[in-house]
Each structure stands twice: as structure tokens, then as C-alpha cells.
């Protein structure tokens, strides 16, 4: 019987830890590691793989799936899957698994960190002190938390963690998510998108990037927000029309933004966002911590073992898929 083969074709950082490779070997899983950047390399190294494993870069495109003749699953380590052709994979009976549990705490913490850094104006006060200025008062204090409204667009694992962690503050939380069934016992209030935007003092977006969410927020939506509101994005840059967001910040439709993700990454060195004092920026690192890499590897390992032993993975993004394999 042919061994269950996993082809790791894209990843960044340190080599695969031995505590990952050794259990795979014990479970009879043949792991090959060959970073691929072209269709030819992908076909060469993964055509006979049962699972093709990627971390982030879009090496697997729709037109390359035909060369993965044996593939029954794609493992995308992480939560986002906009760099995997999910619809085409589903047509071919390929499961698209991911590991959203690896860093949802980190991303939630970062979301809150961006929001608090703006509300409390941590960045400008730090800069003033380092520039030799002791300025304790002034116009930069424009926000507070008590009695305000936080709006969450999308209510998956990360947004639910944000809501839980922010529940200790004296705020209301409103949620818009057309795909999530409301829990009647939840302390959040479910509203439509326009209502969320117009009623919230702070808006944080937490949805996957797909054809339905691309530019979910544009000029029309941003103009609904309060002039003193703050916008936070730690999911994917293209869910927001970045040009419209820049215009909103420049013209005062909204007051400030905290951004970890952008339409094009790395962020262009000429982007107006880099010169805006009412914006806090980080380079797509919301999921990073001293624990995150181990979590990525551990959940990926568990997913691969589940698939090799005929079990559905804990998380996969195409629940309607008619899998090539018989799974329990």
C-alpha cells in the first residue's frame, strides 16, 4: 500500500521541528519538503501527494489543481484562505483545511491593542516624550471607552474573542454577520451592516476575504460612520477599499484607524497612510507571538494525522465538498 504522502510546498521561517516530523513518521505519513514557486515545481513535487500543505503564498492556483491528480486535501496553515482556490478545489473533491485556532487569541489581542493605542493615544505620547516634550494635555485626547459602542463586522472565532475580552469594559457590542446564527443568550446585539456603521463609535472588521467580502466597505459605507469613529482592520486588506479609507481619513468622514493589513503587501512606501498621524500601522503581524509558531505546527500536525486516519479535520472551509476519501 502506498504511503500517505504530504507535500509541504510553501512555508516561511525555521525548518519543520522534529516534534512535528517524528509523529508524522510514526503514523506512516511520508512528508516531503520542497518550496515551490512555479507550476512546474508544484507538479514535480506534489503531483502524487495526498495532501498539499501551504502556509501563505499563493503557489496553488486554480489552473494548477489539475496537476495535483492525487490530492484529496489542501492544508492551509493559518486562518485566511483567500490564497487557495477553494471553489475549484471543492469541484474536484478536495478538502481545504485550515488552522484558525492557532492564533485567534493573538489576533483578538492585537485588535484590542490597536484600538486602545488610539483611544489612549499611546503612540503620539511616546513620540512626544522621546522628542523631549512633556505634553500631558491637548487636542489628541478625543476618545473614551465608557458608554461607547463597539461594532464587529463578522463574528467568527476572533471576533467572538474580541467581544469576550472587551465585555469587561462599560460598552455596548453590536454585531453584523449574515452567515452566523445568533445565540439568543448572547450579550451582543445583532444589527444590519448600515446600522452597525452608523451607530458604532469603533468598528472592527473580522471576515474572510472572498468574492462577497472584497471591498465590503467602500465610500458609501464609510460615509455612514460617525466623524469621531475609529476603524480597525486585522483580517484582510482588500475587504476595505483602501483608497476610500484614505479619503475617509483625510476628509474627516472618520477620525482614526488601526491597520494590520493592506490591499497590497508589503505596504507601498509612498502610501499616504504612512504619513497620517491619525493612523496606527503594523505589518500584518497580528497573529504573531511567542506561542503562535508552535500552535501553527501543532494544529497542522493534528490535521494531517486526522486526514491520514480517515477523519474529517477539525476545521475546513468548504463544508459542502464531496470528498474523494471516505471520512468519519
With contact defined as beta carbons under 8 Å apart, do 30 and 49 qualify? no
pTM over 0.75: yes
* pLDDT per position as a tens digit, 217-255: 999 999 999 999 999 999 999 999 999 999 999 999 999
With contact defined as beta carbons under 8 Å apart, do 99 and 74 qualify? no
- Whether 104-281 and 4-102+290-308 are alike in CATH topology: the answer is yes
Q: Choosing from 187, 264, 265, 277, which is the catalytic residue?
A: 265
Beta strand segments in 187-239, E: 189-190, 202-205, 230-233
pLDDT at 60 over 90: yes
Nearest to 202 by CA among 160, 163, 145: 145
* pLDDT per position as a tens digit, 121-178: 999 999 999 999 998 876 678 899 999 999 999 999 999 999 999 999 999 999 999 9
Top-tier CATH class for 104-281: alpha beta
Catalytic residue check, 27: no
User: Domains of the chain: which residue ranges?
Assistant: 4-102+290-308, 104-281
pLDDT band (50, 70, 90) for residue 182:
confident
Catalytic residue check, 88: no
With contact defined as beta carbons under 8 Å apart, do 301 and 20 qualify? yes
Top-tier CATH class for 4-102+290-308: alpha beta
Question: 17-26: which pairs have CB atoms within 8 A and are 24 or more residues apart?
Answer: 17/297, 19/297, 20/297, 20/298, 20/300, 20/301, 23/301, 23/305, 24/301, 24/304, 24/305
Q: Choosing from 76, 236, 242, 263, which is the catalytic residue?
A: 236
Catalytic residue check, 10: no
What phi and psi, each to the nearest 5 degrees, are found at residue 289?
Answer: -160, 180
Q: Choosing from 284, 298, 302, 314, which is the catalytic residue?
A: 284
Q: What's the mean pLDDT when you consider all of the chain?
A: 95
Amino acid at each position: 500500500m502506498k504511503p500517505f504522502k504530504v507535500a509541504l510546498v510553501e512555508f516561511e521561517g525555521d525548518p519543520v521541528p522534529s516534534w512535528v516530523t517524528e509523529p508524522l513518521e510514526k503514523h506512516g505519513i511520508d512528508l516531503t519538503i520542497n518550496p515551490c514557486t512555479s507550476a512546474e515545481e508544484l507538479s514535480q513535487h506534489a503531483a502524487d501527494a495526498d495532501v498539499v500543505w501551504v502556509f501563505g503564498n499563493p503557489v496553488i492556483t486554480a489552473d494548477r489543481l489539475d496537476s495535483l491528480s492525487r490530492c484529496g486535501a489542501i492544508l492551509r496553515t493559518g486562518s485566511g484562505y483567500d490564497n487557495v482556490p477553494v471553489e475549484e478545489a471543492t469541484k474536484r473533491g478536495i478538502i481545504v483545511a485550515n488552522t484558525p485556532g492557532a492564533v485567534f487569541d493573538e489576533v483578538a489581542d492585537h485588535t484590542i491593542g490597536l484600538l486602545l493605542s488610539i483611544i489612549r493615544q499611546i503612540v503620539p505620547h511616546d513620540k512626544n516624550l522621546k522628542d523631549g516634550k512633556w505634553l500631558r494635555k491637548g487636542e489628541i485626547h478625543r476618545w473614551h471607552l465608557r458608554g461607547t459602542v463597539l461594532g464587529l463586522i463578522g463574528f467568527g472565532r476572533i471576533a467572538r474573542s474580541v467581544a469576550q475580552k472587551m465585555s469587561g469594559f462599560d460598552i455596548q457590542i453590536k454585531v453584523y454577520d449574515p452567515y452566523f446564527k445568533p445565540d439568543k443568550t448572547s450579550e451582543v446585539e445583532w444589527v444590519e451592516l448600515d446600522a452597525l456603521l452608523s451607530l458604532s463609535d469603533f468598528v472592527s472588521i473580522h471576515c474572510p476575504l472572498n468574492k462577497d467580502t472584497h471591498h465590503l466597505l467602500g465610500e458609501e459605507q464609510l460615509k455612514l460612520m460617525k466623524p469621531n469613529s475609529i476603524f480597525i482592520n486585522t483580517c484582510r486588506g482588500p475587504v476595505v477599499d483602501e483608497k476610500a479609507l484614505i479619503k475617509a481619513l483625510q476628509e474627516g468622514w472618520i477620525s482614526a484607524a488601526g491597520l494590520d493589513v493592506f490591499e497590497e503587501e508589503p505596504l507601498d512606501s509612498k502610501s499616504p497612510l504612512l504619513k497620517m498621524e491619525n493612523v496606527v500601522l503594523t505589518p500584518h503581524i497580528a497573529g504573531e507571538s511567542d506561542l503562535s509558531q508552535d500552535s501553527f505546527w501543532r494544529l497542522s500536525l493534528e490535521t494531517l494525522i486526522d486526514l491520514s486516519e480517515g477523519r474529517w479535520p477539525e476545521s475546513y472551509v468548504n463544508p459542502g465538498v464531496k470528498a474523494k476519501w471516505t471520512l468519519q
